[in-house]
């Protein structure tokens, strides 16, 4: 067994995939080096150095064989952080090269491709809910800030939605679980990676004076317009699962 270690990036993974074919590895696994635990003392370890030219060649080959939408599906698998993501993506690349004339991602008779489909649906569901349930809070510097804690790493998938929707104000979205975010400054929309984790106590102290008033008014409005006799908690939870309530001002 040969184990290829990569740096955890998508380009790093595609570089490792390229080297599987370059060195003609057969019995091989690709592992994020941050999650690697050497258990098989007989395994041959090969550390992959991310190379953009190699990852680009894999990307273009995939785009040629499964289309841009197919590549986007594999990106969702990567962002799912599934323990088997490296195996699934390598399997998809192998099958796309073996059967370039087929849409291998729709071959649900294959267990790997069926798993890819299920993962993509789960990631899409989380992406949609993040666009629906994110709540911004106005800070002292006038920037609107939102904190999220999604099951999957969906920030790259919701970036365009918020950039297109909120072009007239500065905003930030921060992933509490993965400790990075998106910053829009009216011109650029970029990812940022702070050295320290967000301190929620200090964060609340930086609210704009208007923010607490807005939150109180919204909570009162929600309470006043709620018709107790028509309350259907089961249906409500189906549409707004409890794990998303932490984002909603009216649920605090």
User: Based on the domain organization, do 28 and 62 belong to the same domain?
Assistant: yes
User: Based on the domain organization, do 114 and 52 belong to the same domain?
Assistant: yes
Residue ending a domain, among 97, 126, 155, is: 126
Domain hosting residue 196, numbered range: 134-208
Residue ending a domain, among 126, 160, 178, is: 126
pLDDT digits (tens, 9 = 90+) for 20-56: 999 999 899 999 999 887 766 667 899 999 999 999 9
User: Based on the domain organization, do 99 and 24 belong to the same domain?
Assistant: yes
Burial track 181-194 (b if 16+ CB lie within 10 A, e otherwise): bbbbeeeebeeeee
User: Based on the domain organization, do 84 and 146 belong to the same domain?
Assistant: no
Burial class (CB in 10 A: 0-12, 13-18, 19+), 236: exposed
User: Based on the domain organization, do 147 and 246 belong to the same domain?
Assistant: no
Which residue has better confidence, 236 or 228? Answer: 228
User: Based on the domain organization, do 50 and 109 belong to the same domain?
Assistant: yes
User: Based on the domain organization, do 200 and 215 belong to the same domain?
Assistant: no
Of 56-70, 101-115, 127-141, 174-188, which gets the smallest average pLDDT?
A: 127-141
User: Based on the domain organization, do 200 and 213 belong to the same domain?
Assistant: no
Four-residue CA torsion sign, 230, 252, 129, 185: positive
Question: Which value, to the nearest 10 degrees, does the dihedral of the CA atoms of residues 58, 61, 66, 67 take?
Answer: 100
Question: What CA–CA distance (Å, rounded) separates 94 from 90?
Answer: 6
pLDDT digits (tens, 9 = 90+) for 204-229: 667 776 656 656 655 664 566 666 66
**Does residue 76 surpass a pLDDT of 90?**
yes
**Does residue 250 surpass a pLDDT of 60?**
no
Query: Which residue do the tokens 């008033």 mark?
Result: 213
Structure tokens at 192: 């940022």
Question: What CA–CA distance (Å, rounded) separates 7 from 2?
Answer: 17
**Does residue 149 surpass a pLDDT of 60?**
yes
User: Based on the domain organization, do 149 and 192 belong to the same domain?
Assistant: yes
**Number of structural domains the chain divides into:** 3
- Predicted local distance difference test score (pLDDT) of residue 221: 47
Question: Phi/psi of residue 120, each to 5°?
Answer: -60, -40
Structure tokens at 196: 């320290």
User: Based on the domain organization, do 7 and 114 belong to the same domain?
Assistant: yes
Structure tokens at 191: 């990812």
Residue ending a domain, among 78, 108, 126, is: 126
- Predicted local distance difference test score (pLDDT) of residue 201: 67
Helices (H), the chain: 10-22, 52-79, 85-98, 111-133, 155-165, 200-205, 209-225, 233-239
DSSP string, 133-185: H---EEBTTS-EEEEE--SS--HHHHHHHHHHH--SS-EEEEETTTTEEEEE-
Which residue has better confidence, 137 or 233? Answer: 137
Give the pLDDT mean for 73-95. 98
User: Based on the domain organization, do 9 and 119 belong to the same domain?
Assistant: yes
**Does residue 236 surpass a pLDDT of 60?**
no
**Does residue 157 surpass a pLDDT of 90?**
yes
- Predicted local distance difference test score (pLDDT) of residue 199: 73
- Contacting residues for 105 by C-beta, under 8 A, at least 6 apart: 66, 70, 73, 92, 113, 116, 117
Bridging pattern class, strands 28-32 and 2-6: parallel
User: Based on the domain organization, do 150 and 66 belong to the same domain?
Assistant: no
CA 185, distance to chain mean position in Å, is: 22
């Amino acid at each position: 067994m040969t184990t290829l270690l990569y740096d955890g990036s998508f380009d790093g993974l595609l570089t490792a995939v390229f080297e599987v074919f370059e060195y003609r590895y057969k019995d091989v696994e690709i592992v994020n080096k941050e999650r690697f635990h050497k258990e098989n003392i007989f395994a041959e370890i090969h550390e992959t150095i991310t190379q953009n030219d190699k990852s680009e060649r894999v990307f273009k080959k995939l785009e040629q064989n499964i289309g841009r939408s197919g590549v986007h599906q594999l990106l969702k698998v990567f962002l799912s952080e599934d323990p088997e993501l490296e195996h699934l993506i390598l399997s998809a690349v192998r099958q796309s090269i073996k059967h370039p004339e087929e849409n291998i991602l729709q071959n649900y008779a294959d267990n790997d491709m069926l798993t890819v489909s299920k993962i993509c649906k789960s990631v899409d569901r989380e992406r949609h809910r993040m666009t629906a349930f994110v709540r911004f809070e106005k800070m002292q510097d006038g920037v609107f800030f939102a904190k999220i804690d999604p099951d999957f790493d969906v920030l790259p998938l919701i970036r365009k939605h918020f950039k297109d929707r909120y072009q007239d104000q500065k905003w930030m979205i921060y992933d509490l679980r993965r400790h990075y975010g998106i910053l829009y400054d009216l011109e650029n929309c970029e990812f940022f990676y702070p050295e320290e984790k967000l301190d929620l106590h200090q964060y609340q102290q930086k609210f704009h004076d208007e923010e607490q008033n807005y939150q109180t008014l919204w909570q009162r409005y929600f309470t006043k317009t709620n018709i107790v006799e028509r309350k259907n908690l089961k249906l409500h939870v189906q549409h707004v699962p409890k794990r998303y309530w932490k984002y909603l001002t009216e649920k605090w």
